[in-house]
């Protein structure tokens, strides 16, 4: 049974790390479903400690994410958006220079960032050639599908 508890804990950690709302783990003769119920408190979205195993109600993890900030001026250019949920990295390693900084000229197809999802690094490429007008994501940010990483004008 402790092996199952370890698997449930690992699944809850993965859900938290990647911002997943639901997950299911099945084995021979058993199924565990986990889920979170988001709630909003004072402008901050909080995944209430509702990571719950089927048949149980013990909270496992809590995750807090700031609500989307309203910007008075919209960035100009074409957004380069995240295709998946993961951690954004601006460089290939901590000591390396960023793939693209504000003011840099980039070519269509050039790597402008990395997204780590499930321990796999995925290259994010520029869809068009142009100048980077704004870098919207910070190194180490959790990004969701559709989140703008940077803008090319």
Return the bridge partners of 44, or none: 41, 66
Q: What is the mean pLDDT of the chain?
A: 77
Which pLDDT band, with edges at 50, 70 and 90, does 86 fall under? very high
In order of their start, the domains of the chain are: 2-66 (no CATH), 78-152 (2.40.50.100)
Write out pLDDT tens, residues 13-41.
777 777 777 777 777 777 777 776 554 44
- Report CA-CA distances (Å) from 75 to 41, 82, 135: 28, 16, 9
Whether residue 117 contacts residue 18, with contact meaning beta carbons closer than 8 Å, is answered with: yes
Q: How many whole angstroms separate alpha carbon 45 and alpha carbon 36?
A: 12
- Report CA-CA distances (Å) from 47 to 38, 54, 59, 83, 119: 4, 17, 11, 23, 23
Which pLDDT band, with edges at 50, 70 and 90, does 5 fall under? confident
Return the bridge partners of 9, or none: none
Kindly state the average pLDDT of the residues 106-113. Answer: 95
């Amino acid at each position: 049974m402790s092996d199952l508890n370890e698997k449930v804990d690992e699944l809850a950690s993965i859900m938290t790390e990647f911002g997943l709302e639901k997950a299911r783990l099945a084995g021979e003769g058993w199924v565990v479903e986990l889920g979170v119920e988001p709630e909003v408190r004072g402008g901050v979205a909080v995944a209430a400690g509702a990571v719950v195993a089927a048949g149980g109600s013990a909270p496992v993890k809590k995750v807090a994410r700031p609500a989307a900030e309203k910007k008075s001026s919209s960035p100009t250019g074409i957004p380069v958006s995240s295709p998946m949920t993961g951690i954004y990295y601006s460089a290939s390693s901590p000591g390396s220079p960023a793939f693209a900084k504000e003011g840099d000229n980039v070519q269509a197809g050039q790597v402008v960032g990395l997204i780590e999802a499930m321990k796999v690094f995925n290259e994010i490429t520029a869809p068009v050639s142009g100048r980077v007008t704004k870098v919207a994501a910070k190194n180490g940010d959790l990004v969701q599908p559709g989140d703008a990483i940077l803008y090319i004008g």
